[in-house]
Copies of this chain bind each other. A is one copy, B any other.
Amino acid sequence: MSSSFIHTYVSVDCVVFGFDRENQLNILLVQRHLSNVPERQKRLPGSLILSDEGVDDAAQRVLHELTGIKKMVLKQFKCFADPKRASNELDIQWMEKEYKRDIDRIITVAYLSLCKIDHKINSTKYDTVDWCPIDKVPSLPFDHNKIINESLIEIRKWIESDFSIIFELLPKKFTIRQLYQLYIALNEKYIDIKNFHKKVSSFNYIIPSEEIEVNVAHRAARYYKFDAKLYKKSNNKLIK
């Protein structure tokens, strides 16, 4: 009985969301180098945990190596530990190459993170880091597709419980249309833009600026800013 306790490697994997100018929700994927295998060449950024690291530290390290950004919003959301999650032959080959050891089982702790899409990605570790639209994610190694699916449920819950999180994805100055399109991309429930506008106008922490858009084909819209201090004082937690 006692001999059957697992003794295993533990990793972190990060799902980093970004919202682009085409109003699409994207995630960051990195290249997995596995010669002669054309399929499943992308993966979520992640790493085994080092001996002096906690899980949150490991996730911050992965994010820093990935983006060059020092401190990113991140949230641990789930531990994935299916006994068979690392049993695919290609995945075993890759782990051997990447980590120089024979790994039979691996437990991973998954994190969500948010990145303003106008932030420059300067990876210190990965040679290829790409934004991938959430509806075009290819088949990925391990259970990374499952992790991404569950992260979508989680990001919705996160924004539902703390609306200020949505502004981590928007540029510092944004139009109400951008906020609306991000909201629509994240939510399954449809909301009319006029109703959305009315609702949002009642939030004192969304501040109109003097600036309006320039060089746009449609009618130039006003830019707004998010005031984190006013948000904290406010009780408006949800758009419903």
How far, in Å, is A173 (CB) from chain B's closest CB?
31
Chain A binding surface, main DSSP class: mixed
Q: Residue-by-residue, is A73-92 near B (CB-CB < 8 Å gives 1, otherwise 0)?
A: 00010110111000000000
- Contact A49 B81, beta carbon cutoff 8 Å: yes
Q: A83 and B5 in contact (CB under 8 A), knowing A76-B78, A160-B161?
A: no
Number of copies: 2
Among candidates B54, B83, B161, residue contacting A81 with C-beta atoms closer than 8 Å: B54
How far, in Å, is A234 (CB) from chain B's closest CB?
13
Question: How many chain A residues touch B (Cβ–Cβ < 8 Å)?
Answer: 32
With an 8 A cutoff between CB atoms, is A137 at the interface?
no
With an 8 A cutoff between CB atoms, is A71 at the interface?
no
Q: Which of A66-121 contact B (CB under 8 A)?
A: 76, 78-79, 81-83, 99-101, 105, 107, 109
- Contact A54 B82, beta carbon cutoff 8 Å: yes
With an 8 A cutoff between CB atoms, is A50 at the interface?
yes
| Cβ-closest chain B residue relative to A160 | B161
How far, in Å, is A60 (CB) from chain B's closest CB?
13
Q: A10 and B6 in contact (CB under 8 A), knowing A49-B81, A160-B161?
A: yes
A48 vs B3: C-alpha distance when bound (angstroms): 11
Among candidates B7, B54, B160, B161, residue contacting A83 with C-beta atoms closer than 8 Å: B54
With an 8 A cutoff between CB atoms, is A126 at the interface?
no
Among candidates B4, B10, B51, residue contacting A10 with C-beta atoms closer than 8 Å: B10
Q: Which residues of B contact A55 (CB under 8 A)?
A: 79, 81, 107
Q: A52 and B83 in contact (CB under 8 A), knowing A8-B10, A10-B8, A101-B2?
A: yes
Known: A160-B161, A161-B161; 12 extra A-B contacts, CB below 8 A, are: A2-B100, A2-B101, A5-B50, A6-B10, A6-B51, A10-B81, A51-B105, A76-B79, A79-B79, A79-B109, A81-B109, A107-B107
Q: Write 13 A-B pairs (CB below 8 A) sorted by A numbering.
A: A4-B52, A5-B9, A5-B48, A5-B50, A6-B9, A6-B50, A6-B53, A7-B7, A8-B10, A10-B81, A54-B83, A76-B78, A79-B79
